Amino acid sequence: MAKDEFPGWHGTTIIGVKKDGEVVIAGDGQVSLGQTVIKGTARKVRRLSPGGFDVVAGFAGSTADAFTLLERLEAKLESHPGQLARASVELAKDWRTDKYLQKLEAMLIVTDGNELLIITGAGDVLEPEHNVAAIGSGGNYALAAARGMMGTDKNAEAIARDAMAIAADICVYTNGNLTVESIKK
């Protein structure tokens, strides 16, 4: 099979919801290769604690690439303790300019409980509108569902879980086996 014919690892859904002083990041557990589910219980949401500073990160894309980025983010947070936005911008700069990092195929959603950010390989550090961020193959479904629930009395975790359930019903590369992490500030 030629490289351009290889189906590749595909799919995931990660959502971040910020509401009433709480930020929740949730991710599904499905890993697919082409049209085959390889694993249904992957953990794509992690808690990082560089220097005692709590950050939650969720990733979509290549797992090895995402772990490389998470390690780099931890190093940036150690250099800039308590400054998630600055550490994220420094990571995005490196990602954009370093020839090795440029080949990485992943995206991150990160939070320290105050800020909710999306970090991309294009050098973007985005603070989402409406306090909801989503990435991955089912990201747009989860984003739309969560935005529709933001005006309800549901808390951040309930919105994230319900939005992920909707995405899992629509996106074949997303399952309902969730990892959920939250931070309150």
Determine the 3-state secondary structure of 18 from DSSP.
strand
Q: What is the pLDDT of residues 31-71, one digit of tens each?
A: 888 889 999 999 999 999 877 789 999 998 888 888 888 99
User: What is the DSSP secondary structure assignment for residue 5, as one 8-state letter?
Assistant: G
Cβ neighbour number for residue 184 with a 10 Å cutoff: 10
Catalytic residues: 12
Q: What is the pTM of this model?
A: 0.91
Measured CA angle at 47 (ends 54, 165), to 5 deg = 125
Domains with residue ranges and CATH for the chain: 3-180 (3.60.20.10)
Q: What is the pLDDT of residues 155-171, one digit of tens each?
A: 999 999 999 999 999 99
